[in-house]
Amino acid sequence: MYQAVRDALSIVLAKDDTAVVFGEDVAFGGVFRCTMGLAEEFGRERVFNTPLTEQGIAGFGIGLASMGHTAIAEIQFADYIFPAFDQIVNEAAKYRYRAGGQFSIGGLTIRTPTMAVGHGGLYHSQSPEGFFLGASGIKIVIPRSPIQCKGLLLTSIRDPNPVLFMEPKILYRSAVEQVPIDDFNIPLSRAETLMPGSDLTLLTWGTPVYHCESAISLLRSPPPTLEPLVPPSLRSATVELIDLRTILPWDIETIVESVKRTRRLVIVHEAGMTGGVGAEIAAEVQKRAFLRLEAPIRRITGWDVPAALQYEKFNMPDPIRILDGIMETLTY
Amino acid sequence: MIRVVRCLRHLRNTPLRSWRALSTAATTIPTASNQGALPTSRSPIVSELRFFDSVTNEQGHIPTYRVLDGVGIPVEGGQLPEINEEFARRLYEHMVLLPTVDNVLYNVQRQGKISFYYGEEATIIGSAAMLAPDDDLKLEIGQYREMGVLLWRGFGIDAIMAQCFGNLEDKSGKGRQMPMHFGSPEHHFHTISSPLATQIPQAAGVGYALRRDPARRDKNVACVYFGEGAASEGDFHAGMLLASTISCPTIFLARNNGFAISTPAHEQYAGDGIAARGPGYGIDTVRVDGNDILAVMNAVKEARRRCLASGRAVLVEAMTYRVGHHSTSDDSFAYRGRQEVDNKKKIDNPIMRFRLFMESRGWWNDQEEDALKSRLKKDVLTTLRKAESLKQSDLRDLFTDVYAGEEPWNLREQREELAGLIRKYGEAWQPWQSELKRFRDEGKKLAD
């Protein structure tokens, strides 16, 4: 997936003379190789390192974008986006509104690696998307795969609003697929149904998409050790798997339509439960599908604890926890 | 309890520097040995242990540049900027206009007509004049008190009033922001926001964009104004770092007026003001007497020249004194003496100083002063009356401009929900009934 990021950035730099890429360590290729070779190809004036200051990177990007330029900033880990919280929430999100539409910073995109990676501990694992939910004026996008990443990143960079683009870092090298070399866009604020189903809607984004797929196949054909724990009557249930893709503004239509059909909803995310994105979605869906719901909306998330290093397997939502949540909801 | 308070007051009134100086011996650089330098530094290696504090010892202070003395007479050796009678009169009129607008708005605020007002007798006309040699090609990112720059650029008193009243002529922000938060792309003045210092790293980005724009490269600089209190924010550090390492043609214009609300400068920093920080970031720096418009003009003109020539940042610290209250929510006599302020007003008044200079050249007299003051007051009051008679923008604008492009479903639904509520309760609920009449659409366009 890191090559898909690079590919998207390269297309934008080639087609848009105002586009620049900057952040900590991006000039040599980036700590995740997402900007490999771009400085050599497009010059240090367009792909450059900044001092180590997240609030500065965000502020600098806002200034560039306010002049109509395309500013693609990188925050090295989503865990370190908090020093830029003020610039993003008070400045970027409100820039257009407070100026009566006279100024805008639509050319700003902030890319940042997010989610757990197996050994990231407290500050290389976080999923902070929920903290930005209230920052009306920005968009938040999280892709699940290389094709998705390229298409969504290209759209995000060209969207007339500031976008936080969060890349699940464990997928940088593990997710591999044939990505079209051409320039293409995937629309924002549109969820994608990955597997159709009629008995339960399973909604997620980023890394847990793969855990959800695993959970669905465990349900269908459990391995011998799990067989006694998965009632045969549930194995034929069909689960509709949806990738939300855009967290803000999110695609309520697709989700509500699905839940009205399946009558059950399970939401999976890595961030802690309290104040997480799942809470927002659950509240809206229960309002719109109240009479159709046959089970409480279930959230399977990281626990409300920091991302403890040695405990990760028991903290992040994994296929077995998702399987259990699906079965509990189906048998409610 | 009383004793403690008295102790604290004593501490506040005692300049920190007096005892700090005792602990810091005058600094001389030890002789370099033949050990060369470390790979990450150009610093010579020495064998003598010595601690450095280049800014708080008595010799280290950065001097303050001045052209006119307190009574408007050029100081010995001072170089006057090129200035003719016509230009001087234009400068003076704008200087006088600021307190005129200030006073009218201040009194209006006291009557409760506008909700909030920050006022300061500004000395930024000098910088505005040097930043805009040919009208509109300059880019500013403003801070609270920079109304003067906009007036110099022809923004108009009516636009100032429209913003302060948030009426339907307020192009700055459609009545969304508090008074004094102006903005105008036409005048290259980015919309002011309340969070302090956030504009400083943004200004570096603006400078970089100017350098990358073939039409404006080597022609324009970015300039950001901020107070000495804002310079304590992390964003100041970030902005200075970015502008120095990435090479952004940006002028950082710090106005050091001695107070951030109640906090005196010596509680804001222990070093030699803001200027002393510039060299630490590798930025050309000057300190200027901010109450001397001619000195400000010279300093900003040269700062701008250097900024363009090097493509890099420059720092200007203008030393002023805030004679007004911080804002209308503040009574500054709670933390400083009335006498102190009165003395400053008399002895070190930037308008008086420039007026005396003009009088010494035969460019100004008492009759002209009276005529100017009554003309400006009349202009300001006329625009004020018009501004207060106008309706607010459409109530619908509560929901517009949050996003560009398609309106998200949540905003659409919430807008329609409010429209429904107004249909239901708009007449019956008195607080809404009277408020709705203030808006041009009276809430009727909400559902469109």
pLDDT digits (tens, 9 = 90+) for A136-180: 999 999 999 999 999 999 999 999 999 999 999 999 999 999 999
Give the fold, CATH level 3, of A192-330.
Rossmann fold (3.40.50)
- B109 confidence band (pLDDT: 50, 70, 90): confident
Residue B112 has pLDDT above 90, yes or no: no
pLDDT at B326: 52
Mutation test of the interface with chain A: which of B178, B198, B233, choosing the one with the most A Cβ atoms within 10 A?
A: B198
pLDDT at A182: 96
In this prediction the ipTM stands at: 0.96
- A241 confidence band (pLDDT: 50, 70, 90): very high
- Residues A194-207 have pLDDT tens digits of 999 999 999 999 99
Domain ranges of chain A: 2-174, 192-330
Written as six digits, the tokens of A114 are: 């997010």
Residue B329 has pLDDT above 80, yes or no: no
User: From CA A292, how far away is CA A303, in angstroms rounded?
Assistant: 29
Q: What are the DSSP E strand ranges found in B62-215? A: 139-141, 189-190
- Closest by Cβ to B209, choosing from A58, A63, A252: A63
Cβ atoms within 10 Å, residue A240: 22
pLDDT at B344: 56
Q: Which residues pair with B289 in a beta bridge?
A: B319
Residues B37-51 have a mean pLDDT of: 86
Residue B122 has pLDDT above 60, yes or no: no
A2-174 and A192-330, same CATH topology:
yes
Cβ atoms within 10 Å, residue B440: 17
A211 is catalytic: no
A192 is catalytic: no
pLDDT at A81: 98
Written as six digits, the tokens of B186 are: 């036409």
Put simply, the answer to whether B238 touches A55 (Cβ < 8 Å) is yes
Residue B325 has pLDDT above 60, yes or no: no
Where b means 16+ CB within 10 Å and e means fewer, A122-148 reads eebbbbbbbbbbebbbbbbbbbbbbbb
| B173 vs A contacts (CB less than 8 Å) | 98-100
Residue with the two structure tokens 């007479």: B73
DSSP summary character for residue A91: I
Closest chain A residue to the Cα of B239, Cα to Cα: A56
A136 to chain B, minimum CA–CA distance in Å?
A: 7
How far from B242 is each of A27, A55, A88, B100, CA to CA, in Å?
15, 11, 18, 38
Are B27 and B21 in contact by the 8 Å Cβ rule? The answer is no
Written as six digits, the tokens of B64 are: 């303050």
- State percent of chain B over pLDDT 70: 79
* Angle made by CA atoms A81, A82, A86, in degrees to the nearest 5: 110
Residue B90 has pLDDT above 80, yes or no: yes
DSSP summary character for residue A62: H
Residue B341 has pLDDT above 70, yes or no: no
Mean pLDDT of chain A: 97
- B171 confidence band (pLDDT: 50, 70, 90): very high
Residues A252-264 have a mean pLDDT of: 98
User: From CA B395, how far away is CA B420, in angstroms rounded?
Assistant: 14
pLDDT at B145: 56
**At B285, which amino acid appears?**
T
Catalytic residue among A74, A91, A124, A269: A124
How far from B371 is each of B1, B356, B366, CA to CA, in Å?
55, 17, 9
Full set of structural domains in chain B with CATH: 60-389 (3.40.50.970), 395-446 (no CATH)
> Across A324-328, B250-254, B310-314, which has the greatest mean pLDDT?
A324-328
User: From CA B213, how far away is CA B137, in angstroms rounded?
Assistant: 13
pLDDT at B347: 62
| B183 vs A contacts (CB less than 8 Å) | 99-100, 102-103
Put simply, the answer to whether B213 touches A60 (Cβ < 8 Å) is no
- State percent of chain B over pLDDT 90: 54
pLDDT at B119: 32
Residue B334 has pLDDT above 90, yes or no: no
Q: Which residues lie below 8 Å from residue A287, measured CB to CB, with a gap of 6+?
A: none
pLDDT at B17: 38
Give the fold, CATH level 3, of A2-174.
Rossmann fold (3.40.50)
Residue B242 has pLDDT above 60, yes or no: yes
Residues B118-145 have a mean pLDDT of: 54
- Closest by Cβ to A60, choosing from B205, B402, B405: B205
Interface size between A and B, measured as CB pairs under 8 A: 164
Residues B200-220 have a mean pLDDT of: 93
Cβ atoms within 10 Å, residue B298: 23
Are B226 and B196 in contact by the 8 Å Cβ rule? The answer is yes
Choice between B125 and B281, residue whose per-residue pLDDT is larger = B281
Instruction: Say whether residue A69 is in contact with chain B using an 8 A CB cutoff.
Output: yes
**Of the candidates A114, A115, A169, A160, the residue with the CA atom closest to the CA atom of residue A138:** A160
How does DSSP assign A208-222, residue by residue? HHHHHHHHHHHHHS-
| A101 vs B contacts (CB less than 8 Å) | 174, 400-401
Q: Which residues lie below 8 Å from residue A132, measured CB to CB, with a gap of 6+?
A: A88, A89, A138, A140, A164, A248
pLDDT at B448: 87
Residue B140 has pLDDT above 70, yes or no: no
- Residues A67-117 have pLDDT tens digits of 999 999 999 999 999 999 999 999 999 999 999 999 999 999 999 999 999
Residue A37 has pLDDT above 70, yes or no: yes
Residue B331 has pLDDT above 90, yes or no: no
How far from B173 is each of A166, B62, B182, CA to CA, in Å?
31, 40, 8
